[in-house]
A and B are shown apart, each in its own frame.
Chain A
Amino acid sequence: QQPVQSPQAVILREGEDAVINCSSSKALYSVHWYRQKHGEAPVFLMILLKGGEQKGHDKISASFNEKKQQSSLYLTASQLSYSGTYFCGTAHTGTASKLTFGTGTRLQVTL
């Protein structure tokens, strides 16, 4: 079953923060985050492998709560280039190489 992301869409002003959530109904092995711009392929952001792990680079970070089967992506001091659709991809024990992509969150950053 497809992971559910929230919110479905969000509009930010440049410099504002956002949180995107990804919730799975199945036990998670890992969570991958991607950003896709219109008409382009998804671009890898980061992968989280362990429960409770938190990762980040630049102003984008993520957490993974294995017990709650959830992951969150944190965007701080957003830039115009952050606009796009964000997808989480979840891998599950036993099918660790296969990803199931979430419902997506459309993010628009404006001036």
Chain B
Amino acid sequence: GAVVSQHPSRVICKSGTSVKIECRSLDFQATTMFWYRQFPKQSLMLMATSNEGSKATYEQGVEKDKFLINHASLTLSTLTVTSAHPEDSSFYICSARDSGISNQPQHFGDGTRLSIL
């Protein structure tokens, strides 16, 4: 089955640090990947759609200068949380869909638990 790898799985760092999270599709190509944030006991909230070779599309209320997204290849998207603060602490999850096949589900990475002290 389709596999999406996300790294790191957990980050604990000081306020003001920038944190980079990688999302890779291991056995398929993904022109589009998605980044979600999930707070405890809440649903997944879409932050942005990552588009290979072009700018990401951000959801309303998500600061694009705060959450930098780069999708440089068909198998890799990165999310950088710049100058992170305690309120950025959350569970960040990426997903990807096989570009070559229509009507395919999104497959999720294992998520990154970010804790800002």
Interface set of A (CB-CB < 8 Å, partner B):
2, 30, 32, 34, 39-44, 47, 49, 87, 89, 97-104
B24 on the A face (CB < 8 A):
no
B46-70 residues at the A interface, CB under 8 angstroms: 46, 49
Contact call A97/B32, Cβ cutoff below 8 A: yes
Q: Which residue of A lies closest to B2 (CB)?
A: A44
Chain B residue numbers with a CB within 8 Å of A2 are 43
Contact call A44/B107, Cβ cutoff below 8 A: yes
Interface set of B (CB-CB < 8 Å, partner A):
6, 32, 34, 36, 42-46, 49, 93, 97, 103-111, 113
Chain A residue numbers with a CB within 8 Å of B111 are 40-41
Residue pairs across A and B with CB atoms within 8 Å: the count is: 48
14 contacts between A and B (CB under 8 A): A32-B106, A34-B108, A42-B93, A43-B108, A44-B106, A87-B44, A97-B97, A98-B34, A101-B36, A101-B43, A101-B44, A102-B43, A104-B42, A104-B43
